[in-house]
């Protein structure tokens, strides 16, 4: 299955991506994770992306599209994938449609995680990520047993640089302006399915898997 997850910052895309991709047996491709790993590695791509990420702005389309084109050509993505955080603009969506058409295929479905703004602000403000295995935690909603330490791998937890209050507001503004139009774009292609993404993480996963069933998932 070829699937895109869309939703505002903090909607739970990364959290759900892990479970849904495992269920579908497809690779999870998160553009945010790829940028952050390049930032950590100090690569030219990371140095460029960081300038935008730290302000809560989107990385330019050209840079992002080229990166995704390379990733989708890798062997593990040829039979299916779950994209988390891409596309994020209408030009990115148009390029993705073209890339897939060139490969003789197309997207099956776009899953929208619907959460209101107050909830995403609460989620982002308390988020912690693991330096070791990238697992996503929340200080209140999903805390590790020992503060600051990942239960899964023992790694150290950190707060993302872009989870500061002023940057969160910029990211929400970018979403409303540049990403929300994708809802209409994919609605017009009859590929959009929305689910309520509030409540327990495991209940949302069940809702997601149910919603994907009628698209072949």
Tell me: does residue 7 bind Mg ion (CB under 5 A).
no
Q: Which of 50, 123, 127, 128 is catalytic?
A: 127
Distances (CA, A) of 91 to 62, 86, 206: 9, 11, 31
Burial class of 177 by CB neighbour count within 10 A (0 to 12, 13 to 18, 19+)? exposed
Q: How far is the CB of 14 from Mg ion (least distance, A)?
A: 3
Decide whether 53 or 150 has the Cβ nearer to ligand AP5: 53
The residue within the footprint of Mg ion, chosen from 14, 56, 87, 217 (CB under 5 A), is 14
Tell me: does residue 12 bind ligand AP5 (CB under 6 A).
yes
Q: Which of 160, 178, 191, 207 is catalytic?
A: 160
Decide whether 53 or 109 has the Cβ nearer to ligand AP5: 53
Alpha-helical (H) ranges within 109-164 are 117-125
197 phi, psi to nearest 5 deg: -105, 30
Q: Is 171 a catalytic residue?
A: yes
Torsion of CA 72, 76, 81, 83, to 10 degrees: -50
Q: How far is the CB of 67 from ligand AP5 (least distance, A)?
A: 9
Cα–Cα distance measured from residue 9 to residue 86, given in angstroms and rounded to the nearest whole number = 12
Cα–Cα distance measured from residue 150 to residue 160, given in angstroms and rounded to the nearest whole number = 15
56 Cα distance to chain centroid:
15
Tell me: does residue 217 bind ligand AP5 (CB under 6 A).
no
Task: Check the CA dihedral 159-161-164-169 and report its sign.
Answer: negative
Q: Which of 2, 13, 28, 123 is catalytic?
A: 13
The residue within the footprint of ligand AP5, chosen from 35, 82, 107, 192 (CB under 6 A), is 35
31 and 86 Cβ atoms separated by less than 8 Å: yes
DSSP line for 166-180: HHHHHHHHHIIIIIT
Tell me: does residue 86 bind ligand AP5 (CB under 6 A).
yes
Q: How far is the CB of 104 from ligand AP5 (least distance, A)?
A: 24
Decide whether 185 or 216 has the Cβ nearer to ligand AP5: 185
Decide whether 13 or 216 has the Cβ nearer to ligand AP5: 13
Q: Is 191 a catalytic residue?
A: no
Residues assigned a catalytic role: 13, 88, 127, 160, 171
Binding site for ligand AP5 (CB under 6 A): 7, 9-15, 31-32, 35, 52-53, 56-59, 64, 85-86, 88, 92, 123-124, 127, 136-138, 141-142, 162, 171, 201, 204
């Amino acid at each position: 299955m070829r699937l895109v997850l869309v939703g505002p910052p903090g909607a739970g895309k990364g959290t759900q991506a892990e479970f849904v991709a495992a269920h579908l047996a497809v690779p999870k491709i998160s553009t945010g994770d790829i940028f952050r790993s390049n930032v950590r590695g100090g690569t030219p791509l990371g140095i460029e992306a960081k300038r935008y990420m730290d302000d809560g702005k989107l990385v330019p389309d050209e840079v992002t599209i080229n990166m995704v084109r390379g990733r989708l050509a890798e062997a593990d993505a040829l039979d299916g994938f779950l994209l988390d955080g891409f596309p994020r603009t209408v030009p990115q969506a148009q390029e993705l449609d073209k890339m897939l058409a060139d490969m003789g295929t197309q997207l099956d479905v776009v899953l929208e995680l619907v959460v209101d703004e107050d909830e995403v602000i609460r989620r982002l403000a308390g988020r912690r990520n693991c330096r070791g295995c990238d697992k996503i935690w929340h200080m209140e909603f999903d805390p590790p047993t020992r503060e600051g330490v990942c239960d899964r791998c023992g790694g150290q937890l950190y707060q993302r640089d872009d989870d500061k209050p002023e940057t969160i507001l910029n990211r929400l503004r970018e979403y409303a302006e540049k990403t929300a139009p994708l809802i209409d774009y994919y609605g017009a292609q009859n590929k959009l399915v929305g689910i309520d993404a509030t409540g327990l993480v495991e209940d949302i996963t069940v809702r997601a898997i149910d919603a994907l069933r009628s698209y072949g998932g």
